[in-house]
Every structure is written in structure tokens, then in C-alpha cells.
């Protein structure tokens, strides 16, 4: 049997099991080796009975004192009890509907028992333990891994295929990690590490093997990012000879912040160096990222070239148009809008104007990606709220010109360690200050008992001329205990019949959604009840209150994004998060938002408390996923892997001296849409 063989040939794995294993990404024995354990149960550590801990799974060596007895306690339920002893005391074993154990446990025989402990008045009880004679060491005398599963699979199925895969390992397995990297990190060869992570002799060996595999994941990603950067730096960017922004700054009705100016300067330095700009601008909602993009688009237009800005929603594209068209008009530049809702004639005329070069700056949505949209001379592409777009969409936009400069923007700040991983192929600029004059949004975390007061506060905000968002986690009735937008809209309509309440969510048809959002932006709706569809791209300066139902079920960064929808006008704004009465964890998480409005601090806290799932789940990054690494807990390993990858690439930029490593990186990135590094 070879590692390339299908798991279908493993004894005991039939077609149904093979199909279920396929759902976990396990089709071959090699796949089985790369399906790492999620954790381990340490069954090697024997605990004396008198030192057992309530609620813990523990291993005991004890002698059966008397034959087990089975009692029928109710219909369909039998319980078998047995008392066992060691030198420190007695322990009761309790098995439910497992009467066969009575014939398996022999009086006077010493066994190893492993199970969960429950402390009772008369002593400790071990519930339905696994057991075997001392010395057998099949399941209780070792560190036992546990794997990710899907419905219909059991741990024994994963043991079966991983055992077969380990048996198929060659004696000398090729190792793509360079020898000097392994030596510096003290890593075992790949074959030994795979054996240790799947069948460790003790927890120390398991931890050492896991560290190697985590390092490996980070190292491969870092090498891939380095190759992507090299691919970019080897090309020439679109030439923009005149990089003066004096006229642009004079045309602005306000002064840019220092952070905005630094971001613009970083972009112009990239362009001046002759390489393609490829930069991420990240900053809080309202930090002024759009003006950085506007400056870059101005440079393209000033040099007789074209620029494009793509937004994820029509409303956001229209808002960009309303903001930028007067600015560009004052500078003598043409600006056009292309969205899916334009009439056929208007759309055709806009597409023709783009191809003829009559529009210097084009703002639009996914409609820009259509095959019939051709630019005469595209030099700059901007992708706003880029986490709403996939890597392929981003690439499709830049391919509408030659050597196009790319700027991507995100209002979801992420910690530096995560940015290094997700955006390692981009240069990163952070806009970490807000424009002067923006008031801090007063934020409160409340429980259900505050609802009458919050409803009254909603009414008062409307009476004073403000508008209100109410965001819910669900569209309709579904998950028990969570608030639905449909129910909330009905409740508020009944409670505040004199207020205009509207409802919008992910199931709302696009045209209707745009109509409702436009009505809210135009002041024709007092209270907008929605799901998180309003998280991105709504600019309503008159909105003064954001209420989030079940705030405990959202990520902190997402809640911070929602809070950013208010506080955009001259009036004091407020944000209220329900869910502070749902346990200490929920209260502590929501307190983070009450105490700080720094998106980067909040993002770091989110990463520590919830892990990287939120960031990976909301960004179509197109990069290989993490199978084992924990970005919150493995930061030090990430830094080490990055440094070593950077040092290796500095000495060998194309990895020509490490062909196995190069091939592994190529294969990994090709599986996720990046293609060749050449």
C-alpha cells in the first residue's frame, strides 16, 4: 500500500465510510496523514482514587472487588455497577445499558479504567469507562488523539485510516523543510513528526510534533507570500509621471489627517519606484480611506489615464459618486457610475464612454467585471470593502489594464500578526486616527430588563429628529432564544405606531433593499430593522442610535463595524448592545466595546477571545486554510516562521536551491486559486 492509495482500500472502510471521509477531505492515505488531531486524551497518567477530580476524565488502575451487578431502573434503561479498589480507596463504576460488561470484568483482576469522574456523597463514580487489563495498553495506556468528525463517522474510523497511512510511510520520507531550518528549530524529520502527531508516546512528544506542523503551515504560507511579492516586484507598474497632489489638496473642503497623508505618500512612493502598487489601506469606519483612494484616482486621471473604484453594494457606489463627482468636477475631470440597476440604454452609454476614455474615473459594483466593460487605458484600480470580494474578482478588475496599480481598502482592522498572514502579498498602511470633529459614540451594554427604557430612548431619538438602526442576528424565527428581524419589526411597529418602521434583510430582493435603504438615507424611515446587511456602506449622518439585539452572538469586530454606522453627523450618537445579562463571558466581551473605540485594540481582543475564524470566514482571501495553527495562541511560532522564510527568500528568491519546498508551496497555492508564481 502506498500513500497515494485511496482510503477505500483500507480494511473496514466501505463505500459509505469512504464518502464520509471525503467530506473531511480524506480521499487518500496522504490526506489522512494531513488530517491532524484536534487534541489528545492523556491516558498514560494514572491517578490514585483518592486524588480524583470531579468532572475530569482520568485514568485509574484498580482491582475488581466483587462481580458487577445489573439493575433495571426504568423501561429501556439498565445500569450496571461495580466497585473497584486501589491502595488509596474505592471507586464505583457505572455503566448504562451495557450489561455485557458484567461478563467482561473478572473479580480480582486489575484493569486500567478511563472515564469521567463524578463526585457523590458516598465517594467517586466513574461513568461508562473504557477499560482493559493492565499491561494491554491498547486504549487506556497511551495518549489517544481525537480527530474532526462528520455525522456517521467515529474516532475508530479515523484511527483505522491513519494507522494504514502510518504503515505506508516510507523509511526515508522526503522532507521539504530545509535541513538548516529543521536544525535551528530542533524539529524531527517529517516521517517521525507525522508518527508522533498521530500516535504520540506521551504529551510532550505530541506537543513537539504539533509545533513542527504549525511552523510548517506558517512557513509555507510565508514562502508563498514572499513568492507572490517577488512576482509583483519583478514587473513594472503603470507609469504616472506627474505625482503632484497640490491641486487635489486645494480642492478639498477640509484638511486631511496625518494618517491619511502618510497613506497617500506611501502609495506615491510605490508608484514613483516604478513597481506596481499593491497596498491595503485598513482603518476604522470614518477614518477617511475614501480620500486616499480619491487621491490615487486623481493621479491616474491627471496623467491622462483611467481609474476605477469597485464597491460591494450599489448604495455604497452611489455614495462614493455623490462624494467624489463634485470634487473631480472642480478639478476638471469626468466621473461616471456603472451599476447593475442602470437602464439598458444608460448602461450601454456608460460602457461606451469607458471604452472611449471619455470617463477618467469610473465608480461601480460587480457590474464592472462584465466582459463588455473595457477601459481605454486603466492605470489604477481601487477595491472598497475588499473582504466582500474574492481574489479572482480583484484579479479580474486589474486585468482590464496593463500593470495596473491596485489599492484595496478595509474598514475591518485586524491585528498585525493576522495581517502578515492574510495580506502578506500586499503592503499594509493603517489609518489609525479619525478626522477632527467626529464625536465619540456613547456605548452601553445592557440586559433584557432595560428594554422598556431602550424603547423609550428609541422614540425620543426619533422625536428629536434622529434615526435609528436595530440590528438582529436572524431574519425570521429559527434558532431558539435569538431575536429575529421580522419579529422585532412587528414588535416596534406595535410599540411605536407613530414611527415609520422598515425591514430589510438578506432575503429582501436587491431592488427592494436598495429602495428601503435609499428611503432611510433620505429620512423617509425613522427606524430601520435589519440583519447585518447594513454592516457595510451605509452613510446616514442623521442616524444617531444603533441598537444590536443579541450582541453576545456577534464578533467584537463586527459589532464595532455596526457601531460605525452612527456618529457621522454633528449630533451626539449612541450605541446599545443587548446580551450583557447572558453570563460573565458575554458581559466581559461587550465591556470591551464600552471601554474602547479603537478598532485595532478591539480586533486584537476578538482574535484572543474567538480565534481567527471570524477573519478567515468573512474574507474570501483565496489562500490555503489553517488546518492546525491557532493564530491567537501560536503568534510566536508565526513570527519565527516568517523570519526564517524571509531570510531564506532573501538568499534564494526563487527557492531554486529548495525544489521540494518550491513544489510544495506551488501545489498548496495552486489549490486555492493563486496559480503559478512565475
Q: In terms of DSSP bridges, do strands 110-120 and 57-64 run parallel, antiparallel, or are they unpaired?
A: antiparallel
pLDDT at 570: 82
Q: How many CA atoms lie within 13 A of 295 on its CB side?
A: 24
pLDDT at 677: 60
* Regions of the chain short of the pLDDT cut 70: 1, 136-141, 232-234, 386-392, 413-425, 437, 477-481, 535-538, 609-625, 631-632, 671-678
pLDDT at 479: 53
Distance CA 637, CA 223 (A): 15
pLDDT at 89: 93
User: Are 35 and 157 spatial neighbours (Cβ–Cβ below 8 Å)?
Assistant: no
Distance CA 460, CA 109 (A): 76
| Cα 442-444-450 angle, rounded to 5 deg | 135
Distance CA 345, CA 182 (A): 64
Distance CA 366, CA 310 (A): 7
pLDDT at 425: 63
For 563, counting Cβ atoms within 10 Å of its Cβ (0-12 exposed, 13-18 middle, 19+ buried), the class is buried
Residue with cell 450618537: 573
pLDDT at 230: 76
Residue with cell 504616472: 240
pLDDT at 238: 85
Mean pLDDT for the chain overall:
87
Tell me the three cell numbers of residue 353: 464612454
DSSP alpha helices (H): ranges in 337-481?
A: 344-356, 391-398, 416-422, 451-463
Distance CA 397, CA 308 (A): 9
- The percentage of residues in the chain with a pLDDT greater than 70, rounded to a whole number, is 90
- Candidates 332, 322, 309; CA nearest to 250 is 332
pLDDT at 619: 41
pLDDT at 614: 47
Phi then psi dihedrals of residue 571, to 5 deg:
-85, 155
Distance CA 396, CA 379 (A): 14
Phi then psi dihedrals of residue 406, to 5 deg:
-115, 130
Global confidence as pTM = 0.67
- Candidates 237, 341, 212, 314; CA nearest to 641 is 212
Amino acid at each position: 500500500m502506498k500513500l497515494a492509495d485511496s482510503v477505500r482500500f483500507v480494511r473496514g472502510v466501505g463505500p459509505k465510510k469512504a464518502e464520509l471521509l471525503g467530506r473531511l477531505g480524506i480521499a487518500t492515505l496522504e490526506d489522512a496523514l494531513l488530517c491532524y488531531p484536534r487534541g489528545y486524551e492523556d491516558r498514560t497518567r494514572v491517578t490514585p482514587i483518592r486524588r480524583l477530580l470531579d468532572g475530569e476524565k482520568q485514568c485509574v488502575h484498580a482491582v475488581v472487588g466483587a462481580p458487577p451487578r445489573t439493575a433495571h431502573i426504568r423501561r429501556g434503561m439498565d445500569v450496571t455497577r461495580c466497585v473497584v479498589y486501589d491502595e488509596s480507596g474505592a471507586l464505583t463504576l457505572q455503566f448504562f445499558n451495557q450489561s455485557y460488561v458484567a461478563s467482561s470484568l473478572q473479580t480480582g483482576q486489575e484493569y486500567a479504567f478511563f472515564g469521567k469522574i463524578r463526585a457523590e456523597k458516598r465517594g467517586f463514580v466513574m461513568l461508562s469507562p473504557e477499560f482493559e487489563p493492565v499491561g494491554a495498553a491498547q486504549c487506556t495506556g497511551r495518549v489517544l488523539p481525537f480527530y474532526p468528525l462528520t455525522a456517521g463517522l467515529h474516532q475508530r474510523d479515523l484511527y483505522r485510516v491513519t494507522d494504514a497511512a502510518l504503515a505506508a510511510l516510507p523509511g526515508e520520507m522526503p522532507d521539504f523543510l530545509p535541513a538548516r531550518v529543521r536544525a535551528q528549530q530542533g524539529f524531527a524529520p517529517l516521517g517521525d513528526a507525522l508518527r508522533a502527531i498521530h500516535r504520540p508516546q506521551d504529551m510532550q512528544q505530541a506537543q513537539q510534533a504539533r509545533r513542527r506542523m504549525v511552523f510548517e503551515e506558517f512557513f509555507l504560507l510565508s514562502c508563498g507570500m514572499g513568492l507572490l511579492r517577488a512576482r509583483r516586484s519583478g514587473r513594472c507598474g503603470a507609469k504616472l509621471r506627474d505625482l503632484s497632489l497640490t491641486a487635489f489638496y486645494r480642492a478639498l473642503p477640509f484638511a486631511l489627517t496625518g494618517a491619511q497623508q502618510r497613506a497617500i505618500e506611501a502609495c506615491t512612493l510605490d508608484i514613483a519606484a516604478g513597481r506596481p502598487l499593491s497596498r491595503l489601506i485598513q482603518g476604522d469606519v470614518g477614518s477617511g480611506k475614501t480620500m486616499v483612494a480619491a487621491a490615487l484616482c486623481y493621479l491616474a486621471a491627471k496623467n491622462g489615464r483611467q481609474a476605477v473604484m469597485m464597491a460591494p453594494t450599489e448604495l455604497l457606489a452611489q455614495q462614493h459618486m455623490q462624494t467624489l463627482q463634485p470634487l473631480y468636477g472642480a478639478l476638471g475631470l469626468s466621473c461616471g457610475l456603472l451599476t447593475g440597476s442602470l437602464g439598458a440604454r444608460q448602461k450601454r452609454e456608460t460602457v461606451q464612454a469607458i471604452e472611449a476614455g471619455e470617463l477618467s474615473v469610473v465608480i461601480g459594483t460587480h457590474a464592472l467585471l462584465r466582459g463588455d466593460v473595457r477601459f481605454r487605458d486603466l492605470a489604477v484600480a481601487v477595491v472598497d470593502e475588499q473582504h466582500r470580494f474574492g481574489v479572482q474578482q480583484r484579479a479580474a478588475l486589474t486585468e482590464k489594464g496593463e500593470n495596473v496599480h491596485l489599492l484595496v481598502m478595509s474598514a475591518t482592522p485586524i491585528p498585525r500578526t493576522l495581517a502578515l498572514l492574510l495580506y502578506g502579498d500586499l503592503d499594509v498602511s493603517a489609518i489609525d486616527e479619525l478626522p477632527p470633529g467626529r464625536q465619540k459614540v456613547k456605548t452601553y451594554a445592557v440586559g433584557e430588563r432595560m428594554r422598556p427604557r431602550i424603547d423609550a430612548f428609541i422614540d425620543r431619538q426619533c422625536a428629536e429628529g434622529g434615526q435609528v438602526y436595530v440590528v438582529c442576528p436572524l431574519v425570521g424565527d429559527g434558532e431558539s432564544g435569538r431575536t429575529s428581524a421580522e419579529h422585532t419589526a412587528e414588535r416596534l411597529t406595535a410599540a411605536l405606531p407613530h414611527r415609520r418602521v422598515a425591514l430589510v434583510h438578506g432575503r429582501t430582493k436587491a431592488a427592494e433593499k436598495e429602495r428601503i435603504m435609499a428611503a432611510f438615507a433620505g429620512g423617509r424611515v425613522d427606524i430601520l430593522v435589519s440583519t447585518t446587511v447594513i454592516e457595510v456602506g451605509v452613510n446616514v449622518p442623521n442616524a444617531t442610535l444603533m441598537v444590536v439585539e443579541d450582541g453576545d452572538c456577534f464578533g467584537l469586530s463586527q459589532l464595532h463595524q455596526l457601531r460605525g454606522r452612527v456618529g457621522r453627523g454633528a449630533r451626539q450618537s449612541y450605541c446599545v448592545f443587548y446580551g450583557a445579562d447572558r453570563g460573565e463571558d458575554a458581559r466581559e466581551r461587550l465591556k470591551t466595546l464600552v471601554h474602547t473605540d479603537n478598532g485595532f485594540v478591539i480586533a486584537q481582543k476578538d482574535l484572543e477571545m474567538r480565534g481567527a475564524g471570524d477573519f478567515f470566514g468573512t474574507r474570501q482571501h483565496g489562500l490555503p486554510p489553517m488546518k492546525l495553527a491557532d493564530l491567537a495562541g501560536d503568534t510566536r511560532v508565526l513570527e519565527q516562521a516568517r523570519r526564517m522564510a524571509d531570510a531564506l527568500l532573501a538568499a534564494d528568491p526563487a527557492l531554486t536551491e529548495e525544489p521540494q519546498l518550491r513544489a510544495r508551496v506551488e501545489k498548496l497555492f495552486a489549490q486555492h486559486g493563486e496559480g503559478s508564481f512565475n
